[in-house]
Chains A and B, each alone.
Chain A
Amino acid sequence: MIPRATTIVGGRLVLPHGAPQPGAIRLAEGRIAALGAITPEPGDSVIDAGGQLITPGLVDLGVFAVDKPAFHFGGITRAALMPDQGPPLDHPARVRFAAQSGKPDMWVHPLAAATRGLDGTELAELALMRDAGARAVATGRRWIADSGVMLRLLSYCAMLDLVVVTHAEDAGITGSAVATAGEMATRLGLPSAPAEAESVALARDIALAEVTGARIHVRQVTTARALDLVRAAKARGVRITAGVTPAHFMLSDLELADFRTFCRLSPPLRPDHDRRAVIDAIADGTIDVIASGHDPRGPEDKRLPFADAEPGMAGAETLLSLSLTLVRDGRIDLARAFDLLAGAPARLLRVNAGVLQVGAEADIALVDPDRAWIVSSDRMAASAGNTPFDRRPVEGRVTALFKGGQQIG
């Protein structure tokens, strides 16, 4: 049975460029069949958007758990799953299983572990994992310390034309640090490392990407100095893209006061001048992707002394609302916001989605950009409520979600 086509009318279409355009969108056979000044075809089911935004479903590049209720709440139709699972995604069979794990109402794109066991020493079977459904390769939560391994990884992935998602923190500098060196960490007595741990790691990875011609995506760039390196590398033509999560453009290390473990993140929160540099880099195009880094953690991982707690935050639900603050502040427009949240990650993963155009997969969200709500860590859709944004009022909420033309939320 072929499902009926759907036409959503009376909305404002968020297109790749320019201001939202009043119009309608028709979803048929899982794809966007038409959009703009169109009317429903006979037999279509018709949905009235009531003036809300019609946007691409978000493509969340780099989540640590498949958490459908949270993804649906946040308007995420595709999530690239980090290889840091138990056991790691370092084997083709596990990748194949993970790629199926979201069906039918969610796309999960596994990221293959770059090295066996994510240990940073032996290359994993990357081509077999690619053919099993891996959309990219990732080094995981950690940096690959051995530059020789990284060089061989990047040259191999350049041959396979797989993007390598890296984590930029020099492990020798960070050691067991849980905070960025500075007044806050000093006052709290927390093990800390200088922010340069990021730029040192990034400088090496950029040099190796340049040598090998590989595509690298740095999942989180959070310091002014590292962003300067990305900016310069892009200007030289290095095939590098950069991402960030809302925590690093909304929060600074002042949040660590009172040892709030929900603010224990990896990389750690930075001083405020770095936070402002991240916003500037989003505005000037140095940062390509905003992702949630969704990593739900229960009390057994978080209700501990700060340095003993696990890093990570549940971010899927707040990703869109927090990103829209940049639009409200006039730093980016809506079209660019959805490129950061959907278009650019879809291009990185080479999936035909993340953008409203005829022929693309019909992954669509209806968004009320002005709807106000309050983040509450004990009433989250996610499997755990570890958000540093607890009790923060935000605006913008997904009211309906379609995957492959079918309404899923």
Chain B
Amino acid sequence: MQPSTPPSPAAPPIRRDYPSGALAFPHRDLTGIGHLARHEILYVLDEAEQWFALNRQSQKSVDLLAGLTIINAFFENSTRTLLSFEIAGKRLGADVVNMHAATSSVKKGETLIDTAMTLNAMRADAIVIRHASSGAVRLIAGKVDCPVLNAGDGQHEHPTQALLDALTIRHALRLPPGSDLNGLNVTICGDILHSRVARSNILCLTALGAQVRVCAPPALMPAEIEAMGVSVFHDFDAALAGAQIVMMLRLQQERMQGQFIPSPREYRHLYGLTLDRLARAEPDALVMHPGPMNRGIEIDSQVADHPTRSLITQQVECGVAIRMACLDVLTRRARAVPGWAQGAAA
């Protein structure tokens, strides 16, 4: 099956009539894709297009968020997501402050709520949070007065990753703004159980009309995941047949308590994406990975570095644009943008 709009460089933008003002995105926070309607996802993707274009210019910054303070509170280590949010905030002209759990009072035993109240009292205009526990971001969102963006909570959600993946796919297939991913075949393979990226991507891709397959050994497959609208595979070759997009996930060895797989070598034998394996997918199938990669385990370097098939660096590029769009949209109420000043639901 093909996407509802055939890929063509000259395809004109699809004009979508979004609800006006804050009704286009009536959420104070972005805690997960699960809360978003299809048109709200598309709205963020379309908003990101302008920032994607800006980021390719030599003059990359605007003063849209001048005077606003954004706190990146990362209770779990991160390099690329933190950097991406920091660059996004700075390119929009905001003051960006990073709080690393390793150097904060969290190490001294302060509770998460106390930390949240402290950040709130410092009058941040948006807080970006990553935390190792599922639901932690929503817990904080209920205690602070400003918009909260989820940069990954435990094994629950990582919404900006799913949005940037959707934008990457749209660009790679040369789909114009406004397009959904109707009918696209996507295979997600790897440690689904421990992956918040998988959950957010399943929610986002199925909302946009894609057919999603998930593939993992049984020990790394969450129970009853079929209920999320995906088909379940344990055989990687079978899962690849007909796939137009192959999304590989990192083997999260640090989250694994006990033995889920006999060895990384054996995992590679069954689930590693090699060039030979990739040949079982559609002839022009594209490969994605949220990073950081375990080269030689879930993905071979020849695949990861493939000049035409790998979208991994494009994902990083789209990440900045998506995060700029999210920061812009969620701070519109604070900036009293016409149509957004009131009425936005919490």
**Which residue from B133, B138, B225, B257 sits with its C-beta under 8 Å from A175?**
B257
Given A189-B134, A259-B134, A305-B154: A183 touches B227 (CB 8 Å cut-off): yes
A194 (CB) vs chain B CBs: closest residue: B223
What is the minimal beta-carbon distance from A36 to any residue of chain B, in angstroms?
55
Set of chain B residues within 8 Å of A181, measured between Cβ atoms: 222-224
Does B332 sit at the interface, judged by CB under 8 A?
Answer: no
Residues of B6-44 contacting chain A, CB below 8 A: 34
Set of chain B residues within 8 Å of A187, measured between Cβ atoms: 34, 199, 227-228
**Which residue from B34, B135, B223 sits with its C-beta under 8 Å from A182?**
B223
What is the minimal beta-carbon distance from B142 to any residue of chain A, in angstroms?
9
B223–A305 CB distance below 8 A:
no
In the assembly, what is the distance between CA of A278 and CA of B138, in Å? Answer: 32
Does A304 sit at the interface, judged by CB under 8 A?
Answer: yes
B224–A189 CB distance below 8 A:
no
A308–B133 CB distance below 8 A:
yes
Interface digits, A175-218 against B, CB 8 Å rule (1 contact, 0 not)?
11000011101111111101000000000000000000000000
B138–A258 CB distance below 8 A:
yes
B139–A259 CB distance below 8 A:
yes
A300–B111 CB distance below 8 A:
yes
Set of chain A residues within 8 Å of B227, measured between Cβ atoms: 183, 186-187
Does A307 sit at the interface, judged by CB under 8 A?
Answer: yes
A176 (CB) vs chain B CBs: closest residue: B257
In the assembly, what is the distance between CA of A192 and CA of B223, in Å? Answer: 9
Residues of A307-323 contacting chain B, CB below 8 A: 307-308
Set of chain B residues within 8 Å of A185, measured between Cβ atoms: 222-223
Given A303-B113, A304-B111: A188 touches B224 (CB 8 Å cut-off): no
Residues of A117-176 contacting chain B, CB below 8 A: 175-176
B135–A188 CB distance below 8 A:
yes
Given A182-B223, A187-B228, A190-B155: A305 touches B258 (CB 8 Å cut-off): no
Set of chain A residues within 8 Å of B224, measured between Cβ atoms: 181-183, 186
The listed residue with most B CB atoms (<10 A of its CB), out of A185, A307, A308, is: A308
A303 (CB) vs chain B CBs: closest residue: B113
In the assembly, what is the distance between CA of A299 and CA of B112, in Å? Answer: 12
B198 (CB) vs chain A CBs: closest residue: A189
A305–B136 CB distance below 8 A:
yes
B112–A304 CB distance below 8 A:
yes
Set of chain B residues within 8 Å of A258, measured between Cβ atoms: 135, 138
B257–A188 CB distance below 8 A:
no
Set of chain B residues within 8 Å of A259, measured between Cβ atoms: 134-135, 138-139
Does A262 sit at the interface, judged by CB under 8 A?
Answer: no
In the assembly, what is the distance between CA of A191 and CA of B222, in Å? Answer: 10
Set of chain A residues within 8 Å of B133, measured between Cβ atoms: 304-308
What is the minimal beta-carbon distance from A396 to any residue of chain B, in angstroms?
33
A189–B156 CB distance below 8 A:
yes
In the assembly, what is the distance between CA of A61 and CA of B196, in Å? Answer: 41
Does B157 sit at the interface, judged by CB under 8 A?
Answer: yes
Set of chain A residues within 8 Å of B112, measured between Cβ atoms: 304-305
Residues of B in contact, count (CB < 8 Å): 26
A189–B111 CB distance below 8 A:
no
Set of chain A residues within 8 Å of B134, measured between Cβ atoms: 188-190, 259, 305-307
In the assembly, what is the distance between CA of A299 and CA of B111, in Å? Answer: 11
**Which residue from A186, A194, A304 sits with its C-beta under 8 Å from B225?**
A186
In this complex, the interface size class of chain A, counting residues with CB under 8 Å from chain B, is 20 to 34
Does B170 sit at the interface, judged by CB under 8 A?
Answer: no
In the assembly, what is the distance between CA of A270 and CA of B226, in Å? Answer: 19
Set of chain A residues within 8 Å of B34, measured between Cβ atoms: 187
Residues of B211-267 contacting chain A, CB below 8 A: 222-225, 227-228, 257-258
B133 (CB) vs chain A CBs: closest residue: A305
In the assembly, what is the distance between CA of A175 and CA of B227, in Å? Answer: 24
Does B131 sit at the interface, judged by CB under 8 A?
Answer: yes
What is the minimal beta-carbon distance from A136 to any residue of chain B, in angstroms?
34
Set of chain B residues within 8 Å of A190, measured between Cβ atoms: 134-135, 154-156
B111–A303 CB distance below 8 A:
yes
B223–A188 CB distance below 8 A:
no
B113–A307 CB distance below 8 A:
no
In the assembly, what is the distance between CA of A175 and CA of B257, in Å? Answer: 8
What is the minimal beta-carbon distance from B243 to any residue of chain A, in angstroms?
22
What is the minimal beta-carbon distance from A164 to any residue of chain B, in angstroms?
29
What is the minimal beta-carbon distance from B205 to any residue of chain A, in angstroms?
15
In the assembly, what is the distance between CA of A392 and CA of B11, in Å? Answer: 56
Set of chain B residues within 8 Å of A189, measured between Cβ atoms: 134, 153-157, 196, 199
B143 (CB) vs chain A CBs: closest residue: A303
Set of chain B residues within 8 Å of A300, measured between Cβ atoms: 111
Set of chain A residues within 8 Å of B257, measured between Cβ atoms: 175-176
What is the minimal beta-carbon distance from B27 to any residue of chain A, in angstroms?
15
A305–B131 CB distance below 8 A:
yes
Set of chain B residues within 8 Å of A192, measured between Cβ atoms: 222-223
Interface digits, A77-104 against B, CB 8 Å rule (1 contact, 0 not)?
0000000000000000000000000000
In the assembly, what is the distance between CA of A182 and CA of B227, in Å? Answer: 9
Set of chain A residues within 8 Å of B131, measured between Cβ atoms: 305
What is the minimal beta-carbon distance from B232 to any residue of chain A, in angstroms?
11
A299 (CB) vs chain B CBs: closest residue: B113
Residues of A285-307 contacting chain B, CB below 8 A: 299-300, 303-307
What is the minimal beta-carbon distance from B36 to any residue of chain A, in angstroms?
14
In the assembly, what is the distance between CA of A300 and CA of B114, in Å? Answer: 11
**Which residue from B113, B139, B156, B225 sits with its C-beta under 8 Å from A188?**
B156
Set of chain A residues within 8 Å of B225, measured between Cβ atoms: 186
B258–A306 CB distance below 8 A:
no
In the assembly, what is the distance between CA of A187 and CA of B202, in Å? Answer: 10
B158 (CB) vs chain A CBs: closest residue: A189
What is the minimal beta-carbon distance from A156 to any residue of chain B, in angstroms?
32
Interface digits, B117-142 against A, CB 8 Å rule (1 contact, 0 not)?
00000000000000101111011000
Set of chain B residues within 8 Å of A304, measured between Cβ atoms: 111-113, 133, 139
Set of chain B residues within 8 Å of A191, measured between Cβ atoms: 155
In the assembly, what is the distance between CA of A308 and CA of B228, in Å? Answer: 26
What is the minimal beta-carbon distance from B134 to any residue of chain A, in angstroms?
4
Set of chain A residues within 8 Å of B155, measured between Cβ atoms: 189-191
Set of chain B residues within 8 Å of A188, measured between Cβ atoms: 134-135, 156
Of all A-B residue pairs in the complex, the 7 with the closest CB atoms, nearest first, are A259-B135, A305-B133, A189-B155, A189-B156, A181-B223, A305-B136, A186-B222
Chain B residues packing against A (C-beta within 8 Å): 34, 111-113, 131, 133-136, 138-139, 153-157, 196, 199, 222-225, 227-228, 257-258
Chain A residues packing against B (C-beta within 8 Å): 175-176, 181-183, 185-192, 194, 258-259, 299-300, 303-308
10 A-B pairs with CB atoms under 8 Å apart are: A183-B223, A183-B227, A186-B224, A187-B228, A190-B135, A194-B223, A259-B139, A303-B113, A305-B131, A307-B154
